[in-house]
A and B are shown apart, each in its own frame.
Chain A
């Protein structure tokens, strides 16, 4: 079976784009990926497009804009894992031998669809009693503080770190550094979480072109980065109440990825994880096995997760700093992994990075631990 190689990456600036829509953004990202791969776009054989609130056939509208209509294309919705799921589908099409060059696009024009707190689907029993996504993560933060003694100040160090990283990322939504004091003084959203603990409402898109061994040999000029694993799991129904300070769903998705890639968490050099909220970064990295359970806040305090630390987390700025255009998020994580692994990350470059992990997790439904979770491992 062929390996899968990420050969071209592109993304728009993340932020507010009042004068464009999801297909404009997707087209810009696609053009960026094609230019980066330095290929004739007509060699692309198939496309997958991840988005959440953009309506029917957004992917087809993107291809029509760039003159590539006619390709087999699937639109993919998997909540905040939509873009990552599009990459997984693209990689499966290549591993299956069906295609040699496939593009995965993730896009979202979120500012035109939504503002304020994201909630589960209104049909959900938890939505019916007032569940919001910040509220759910706030409850997890409260429980984590109770169990492990994490302080509110420690939690604030995560948005401080991620916005510092974002200040070095020209495509990030936020370019300004913040202090712990500013986090603690920001507007309360769901106690103990405050505005700076939350990822913003962001417009943006990203695209990656993946290729088979054969196509990479022809087109990649040695710049391909191997997608060693791309795994997806759905949350299982709890048969009894389980800890909300640990993520079995993240772990099973990661474990399958580690096994496929032939590595373990100890081999990971850096990661982009789904920090939709500050506490989420804690839960993700511990769920991925990158840090011991109950210890990440202290590791952050010691600088271990900084760009020049032992195991940098969210060098792009993460969802909190770079922004979180739902469908675009998972694809943009892989864009960052590729730029880091190629040594093209500029002032936020991690020295000597060889193995990067991207993790997404999205959606909420009653009685299940998370809805859709993805893990991608890229190896230079």
Chain B
């Protein structure tokens, strides 16, 4: 298992990271109708209320679909697995998949948020980003 990622969040508006290596994806919850959104929005697409609060999403969800990306832009080393995970708050969030072989990835798998080193900022400081990994991969 990779060491806890301790860099600053690669995108603080979307991923909150804490000094103990834990973190959450952030989004909005509509106080009027309860709908959730990722990323943070200024108004609810369901009811148009602007009474939204920023919330931390659950860290476990279900893999909706995935692909192994074999051609990308230079910032990303290929191949990598990319997937959409559905979270209990009724949001679907894209992320790379880590912690398992490509051949073991299956639609419907239980996935969890994994904070991992995710490149460097312009000054060369390590950044922390997120990937999703199978819940079973806990003790690898």
**Per-residue CB proximity of A104-139 to B under 8 Å, as 1/0?**
000000000000110100000110111110110011
Tally of contact residues, A, Cβ under 8 A: 34
Cα distance A89–B73 when bound, in Å? 34
B55 at interface by CB-CB < 8 Å: no
Contact in complex: B65, A190 (CB < 8 Å):
no
Q: Which of A125, A131, A188, A189 contacts B14 (CB 8 A)?
A: A125
How near does chain B come to A259, taking the closest CB pair, in angstroms? 24
Contact in complex: A241, B83 (CB < 8 Å):
no
Contact in complex: A139, B45 (CB < 8 Å):
no
A191 at interface by CB-CB < 8 Å: yes
Which of A23-31, A232-240, A294-302 makes up part of the contact surface?
Answer: A232-240
Contact in complex: B41, A237 (CB < 8 Å):
yes
Contact in complex: B90, A135 (CB < 8 Å):
no
Instruction: State whether A240 and B90 are in contact (beta carbons under 8 Å apart), knowing that A117-B72, A128-B10, A143-B65 are contacts in the complex.
Output: yes
Instruction: State whether A117 and B64 are in contact (beta carbons under 8 Å apart), knowing that A129-B94, A238-B45, A238-B92 are contacts in the complex.
Output: no
Instruction: State whether A241 and B38 are in contact (beta carbons under 8 Å apart), knowing that A129-B94, A139-B65, A140-B65 are contacts in the complex.
Output: no
Contact in complex: B39, A188 (CB < 8 Å):
no
- Work out how many contacts link A and B, with CB atoms closer than 8 A: 108
Q: Within B68-89, which residues are at the interface with A (CB < 8 Å)? A: 68-73, 76, 80, 82-84, 86
B109 at interface by CB-CB < 8 Å: no
Contact in complex: A239, B64 (CB < 8 Å):
no
Contact in complex: A130, B72 (CB < 8 Å):
yes
Q: Across the interface, which residues of A come within 8 angstroms of B64, CB to CB?
A: 143, 241, 244
Cα distance A140–B107 when bound, in Å? 12
Contact in complex: B38, A131 (CB < 8 Å):
no
**Per-residue CB proximity of A184-200 to B under 8 Å, as 1/0?**
00011111110000000
B21 at interface by CB-CB < 8 Å: no
A40 at interface by CB-CB < 8 Å: no
Contact in complex: B71, A117 (CB < 8 Å):
yes
How near does chain A come to B46, taking the closest CB pair, in angstroms? 4
Contact in complex: A239, B45 (CB < 8 Å):
yes
Binding site for A on B (CB under 8 A): 10-11, 14, 35, 37-39, 41, 44-46, 64-73, 76, 80, 82-84, 86, 90-92, 94-96, 107, 129-130
Besides A117-B73, A130-B96, A135-B67, 13 other A-B contacts (C-beta < 8 A): A125-B94, A129-B82, A129-B95, A129-B96, A129-B129, A131-B94, A132-B71, A142-B67, A142-B107, A189-B71, A190-B69, A190-B82, A241-B64
